[in-house]
Amino acid sequence: MSLIVQKFGGTSVGDAERIKNVASRIARSCADGNSILVVLSAMSGETDRLLSLAKSIVSDPRGRETDVLLSTGEQVSIALLSMALEELGVPAVSFTGSQVKILTDNIYNKARIEDIDSTRLRATLDDGKVAVVAGFQGVDAEGNITTLGRGGSDTTAVALAAALEADECQIYTDVDGVYTTDPRIVPEARRLSQVTYEEMLEMASLGAKVLQIRAVEFASKYKVKLRVLSSFCDGIGTLITTEENIMEEALISGVTLNRNEAQVMMVGVPDRPGVASSILGPVADANIEVDMIVQNSAADGATDFTFTVSRDDYDLTLKILNEIAETLSAREVRGDRNIVKLSIVGVGMRSHAGIASRMFKALSKENINILMISTSEIKISIVVDQKYSELGVRVLHSEFGLSEASGVK
Ligand code: ASP
Ligand code: MG
């Protein structure tokens, strides 16, 4: 008998009809002889609705009471689903985070799980019942309700799968798996049957919004077999696992596009030790995350310092740079928010040379100018003008043969 954790996202439990559908799906899994632990999100839009309700009272809702409020969304969905299961003759018991005792630290709104008491869940499962757990919430050592940050029910699911040593953690969502790229840009994009944790982390952070990044990190740490699948159609989805478990290794697994990037530049800074830290220090102090960094020095002893930040931080970053430009004797501060980041990701890159030049050649054939480049062991990212977004993705997707059946090239 396998123990499977099944997590259903907001759209999967968006209304009564969908909740009944989810209940039938769970009933089928039980009938197949599996022991099922369910983790739910709030009904779609509910967390946003609660947040805007709070915003109509305070301008910046955060802290303890925000968590008391937000955690109600998941409490509604677990109760409704448990009723739906009972209606189908499947015994089920709902649990809030504090009833399970998902112990977290006391950082409200973005708490981290410290420990999970699996006693009650195990007893429920051993009793032949389905345990239905509220995602996204926990309880601190003093008994205060906490939440794990937006999208946190993915993390709850993986953490429970790890704690109960489940055979698999299945994340049901509105797409049927992880794709080689965004199918809205490349209709021939292919669903990956398997991908490594590492690749998934790169793809998630690059904007393939399928799974909360923290959940993938957790899964990787505890070697939880993760599977992303659709709650609206049947299929095997995408399995996220260790590199050793991957049968056939593709050179490149995916092409991602991040539209939420902006470029800033400090031009003509005297080239001396400490320049990078004098520029990035104040940026970090303002809690702005820096992504790609390029520094190039000119013959005249001056250097141009270029980096990217998320678009929401663009104005603030420019303001900070303008403030420090004079003390650093920089010639000019410039920026461009009309850029995007394109990346190719794949563990196969580790063992193959020449991927970068192949990437650059494919782009040059289409006259796409590359503004910045950065590489890691399993990823190459470039910055280009945003007018090349779709073209760039299509070119790279076809260059690395990602539409083809095998994906190996
Ligand atoms: N309901 C929470 C949110 O909307 C948590 C989740 O869905 O994972 O962020
Ligand atoms: Mg989600």
Give distance in angstroms: CA of 327 to centre of ligand 2.
45
- Beta-bridge partners for 55: none
In this structure, the chain runs to a length of 409
Task: Please work out whether the CB of residue 346 comes within 6 Å of at least one atom of ligand 1.
Answer: no
The CATH number linked to 153 is 3.40.1160.10
Task: Please work out whether the CB of residue 136 comes within 6 Å of at least one atom of ligand 1.
Answer: yes
Tell me how many domains the chain contains. Answer: 1
Q: What is the DSSP letter of 375?
A: E
d(CA 339, CA 74): 38
The helix/strand count (H/E) of the chain reads as 12, 18
Give kind and range of the element (H or E) at residue 52. Answer: helix 46-55
Across 136-151, b (16+ Cβ under 10 Å) vs e yields: bbbbbeeebbbbbeeb
Q: Which domain holds residue 95?
A: 3-174
Which residue puts its alpha carbon closest to atom 4 of ligand 1? 47
* Residue 294 falls inside a structural domain: no
E-assigned strands of 205-287? Answer: 226-230, 238-241, 254-270
* Cα 369–Cα 371–Cα 375 angle in degrees, nearest 5: 110
Give distance in angstroms: CA of 127 to centre of ligand 1.
29
Task: Please work out whether the CB of residue 152 comes within 6 Å of at least one atom of ligand 1.
Answer: yes
* Residue 184 falls inside a structural domain: no
d(CA 308, CA 295): 12
- Ligand 1 site-directed mutation target among 153, 214, 228, most atoms within 8 Å of CB: 153
Closest CA to 103 of 64, 67, 138, 143: 138
| Closest ligand to the CA of 156 | 1
Task: Please work out whether the CB of residue 402 comes within 6 Å of at least one atom of ligand 1.
Answer: no
pTM of the full structure: 0.86
Q: Which amino acid is at 225?
A: K
Give distance in angstroms: CA of 136 to centre of ligand 1.
6
Task: Give whole-number Cα distances, 3 to 118, 226, 254, 280, in Å.
Answer: 13, 13, 31, 48
309 Cβ contact partners less than 8 Å away, ≥ 6 residues apart: 261, 262, 264, 283, 288, 289, 290, 291, 317
| Closest ligand to the CA of 204 | 2
Q: Given this model, what pLDDT does residue 351 score?
A: 83
Task: Please work out whether the CB of residue 155 comes within 6 Å of at least one atom of ligand 1.
Answer: no
Q: Given this model, what pLDDT does residue 289 score?
A: 92
Give distance in angstroms: CA of 155 to centre of ligand 2.
10
d(CA 228, CA 44): 18
* Residue 92 falls inside a structural domain: yes
Q: Given this model, what pLDDT does residue 123 score?
A: 98
Q: Given this model, what pLDDT does residue 232 score?
A: 87
d(CA 14, CA 389): 32
Cα–chain-centroid distance for residue 293? 22
Q: What is the DSSP letter of 356?
A: H
* Residue 220 falls inside a structural domain: no
Q: What is the DSSP letter of 301?
A: S
* Residue 283 falls inside a structural domain: no
* Residue 209 falls inside a structural domain: no
Give kind and range of the element (H or E) at residue 303. Answer: strand 302-310
* Residue 195 falls inside a structural domain: no
* Residue 306 falls inside a structural domain: no
Task: Please work out whether the CB of residue 14 comes within 6 Å of at least one atom of ligand 1.
Answer: no
pLDDT tens for the chain, 409 residues long, are 899 999 999 999 999 999 999 999 999 999 999 999 999 999 999 999 999 999 999 999 999 999 999 999 999 999 999 999 999 999 999 999 999 999 999 999 999 999 999 999 999 999 999 999 999 999 999 999 999 999 999 999 999 999 999 999 999 998 899 999 998 999 999 999 999 999 999 987 665 568 888 899 999 999 999 999 998 888 999 999 998 877 766 789 999 999 999 999 999 998 888 889 999 999 999 989 999 999 887 778 889 999 999 999 999 999 999 999 999 999 999 999 999 999 999 999 988 889 999 999 999 999 999 999 999 999 999 999 999 999 999 999 999 999 865 444 4
| Closest ligand to the CA of 44 | 1
Contact criterion met (CB below 8 Å) for 59 and 27: no
